[in-house]
Structure 1
Amino acid sequence: MKYVEINSDAIVGPDAAFHFTRAVLDTARPKALHHHTLYEVFWLHNGRARHYYADTREMLQEGDLVFVPPGVAHAVQGVGEEPHLVNIVVSAGVVDRIAAHGFQKRFFWGQAPHRVHRDIRRLSDLSHRAVALERAPRTALHIEAFLLALLAELDVEDPQLPQDAPDWLVRACVAARDPDVFRDGSAGLARASGKAHAHVSRTMQKYLGQTPSDYVNRIRMDHAARQLAGTGDTLAEIAAECGITNMSHFHRLFRAQFNVTPRQFRMSHQKGIVQPI
């Protein structure tokens, strides 16, 4: 497949910080891959598509969100009826300023496109924010506000699995951050994956070096720590939110992760807080 370089100034323009496009994708196989010196983020709002880059072809489904660094030649082909894509092209200066916030070396900053999946609720939230961005002036202020919110949200969710990890495992690890999932422990994670528990366990050991229980318990204790620092809920109430009914077990898990008891953690993080009169 041929490679075509696109003039970056022709995309964004000299006075704009980003370019926003909505399109129904062509279902014909692309004749060439394009590349330029800008950053791209796009997602499939509806339908399915094929994403071509380097020697790779991957299938995209509704809710898949892809970050493309500069210089990566790629193309997207629609599959089926009404594949609807939202594409945002961003100037290098904007992304350089965002990088100063210390995001991990993924998303825009990898060597290849980075894909994550948004479920129906998160896709709806993203689409709502995109409508506001589409209507906004093409200034650095508006695109930085949009991207910082998105990247901060993803930075919390991203399980940082290897690039070759199966998609179902990535989606299950993201789903495991939902209280309705982690409350059920490793069984909740396995259910979110749609795979047998034994298969999930083997695959997590391969790609993460830990069991489903270890993975979920870390998420549970992170949630417990936030509740301890930011609420007045009792330890029993917080443990129940995490899906743990045995308080001794809750204390052991928390101490193993944070090296202090839940009560000590709360005292150190709520010290000096001024209570309302």
Structure 2
Amino acid sequence: MIIYAKEHYLESEAFPFAVLPFLTLPTRALRPHSHDFIELVYVADGNGEHLYKGRSFPISKGDFFVIPPGIEHDYRVIGDSPLDVYNVMFLPSLLIAELKTLASVNSFIDFFYLEPFLRQNVDFSSHLKLSPVEGYAVKQRIERLHQEFTSKSLGYQISIKALLIEMLVYLSRCYESRFIEPVFHSNESKAIQQLCEFLAQNYEQPISLDHVCRMCGMSQTTFTSKFKQETGRTFTEYRNELRIHASLKPLRETEDNIVAISENVGIHDLSHYHKLFKHYMKMTPRQYRMRCRE
């Protein structure tokens, strides 16, 4: 599998963003690949298949979807006409504060994080199909992003961030109008299991307790009791443990500073990260790093 690295596609480490119109021809050979950045995909014209983690999804004009980092995917054209696609690529670090704010909006969480996760489930068939009016509005926004990105006029980075946030809010509203209550399995135990799988992929996101209760279709009282029964931990304890364990690899294998590692796993208070780390690992992050390198 080919891995597309951010260094080859995004503008820079300081501004990890790019937008790329891409025409997939019917004669193009398959090139399954993944990337280490988020990719927003809008199908402007044509028909084809999106090959996503070993499954095939039909795509056509008006489709818009999110591809998280590390997911193997590719496109196959159906028919004689090319597949006209726009790719908007960025790292979450580009919009740390904005994404944290948007995490309080249920429809944004559903579209940006939950939908890509549910797409892996054979029972889940919905995706965001934009109407002609919505598609026109989104295409205009992407073309403005592309114009700013290619011209690099004064203040283009600020303009791009504003346009990107505006587009994400608009898409969240479009998604909300179609899928008001996307939830996990109706069986409570299976819903908790699906949630744990979701958290394993999205532990760093600031998703609230209220939101996960809604995702599971339970009241907060029922969810709290059922989650503790199924996992032996509270929701917060479970996510904290995921975050701490996710920080171990970069501590062992990189020279990243501890502040950056803490933020990358979703803990933005360094003293809180140290406290949690010592609770789970019985040593400080620095002691752990030093011990692994002895």
Per the normalisation by structure 2, the TM-score is 0.49
Provide the identity percentage: 16
Shift of 1:160: 4.2
Tell me which residue corresponds to 2:3: 5
Q: Matched residues in 1 for 2:94 and 2:180: separation?
A: 24
The superposition leaves residues 240-275 of structure 1 with CA deviations (integer Å, 9 ceiling, x where unpaired) of xxxxxxxxxxxxxxxxxxxxxxxxxxxxxxxxxxxx
Q: Is the 8 A contact 1:39 1:91 kept in 2?
A: yes
Alpha-carbon spacing, 1:97–1:49, altered in 2? closer, same or farther (3 Å): farther
Tell me which residue corresponds to 1:152: 169
Q: Is the 8 A contact 1:67 1:115 kept in 2?
A: no
Unaligned ranges ≥5, structure 1:
165-207, 209-277
Tell me which residue corresponds to 2:275: none
Alpha-carbon spacing, 1:32–1:82, altered in 2? closer, same or farther (3 Å): closer
Q: Is the 8 A contact 1:17 1:94 kept in 2?
A: yes
Q: Is the 8 A contact 1:17 1:140 kept in 2?
A: no
Q: Matched residues in 1 for 2:32 and 2:181: separation?
A: 27
Tell me which residue corresponds to 1:131: 143
Alpha-carbon spacing, 1:163–1:30, altered in 2? closer, same or farther (3 Å): farther
1:26-41 correspondence to structure 2 within 5 Å: 26-28=25-27, 30-41=29-40
Alpha-carbon spacing, 1:33–1:95, altered in 2? closer, same or farther (3 Å): farther
Alpha-carbon spacing, 1:98–1:71, altered in 2? closer, same or farther (3 Å): farther
Unaligned ranges ≥5, structure 2:
120-125, 185-216, 218-294
Shift of 1:144: 2.5
Q: Is the 8 A contact 1:94 1:140 kept in 2?
A: no
Shift of 1:12: 0.5
The superposition leaves residues 131-157 of structure 1 with CA deviations (integer Å, 9 ceiling, x where unpaired) of 211111465523332232222223233
Shift of 1:163: 8.6
Is it true that 1:109 corresponds to 2:139 in the alignment? Answer: no
Bigger strand fraction: 1
Q: Is the 8 A contact 1:63 1:118 kept in 2?
A: yes
Q: Give the SS at the match of 1:106.
A: helix
Tell me which residue corresponds to 1:18: 17
Give the count of matched residue pairs: 166
Tell me which residue corresponds to 1:141: 158
Q: Matched residues in 1 for 2:91 and 2:19: separation?
A: 12
Q: Is the 8 A contact 2:47 2:83 kept in 1?
A: yes
Per the normalisation by structure 1, the TM-score is 0.52
- Over the aligned positions, Cα root-mean-square deviation in angstroms equals 3.1
Shift of 1:17: 3.1
Q: Give the SS at the match of 2:46.
A: strand
Tell me which residue corresponds to 1:44: 43
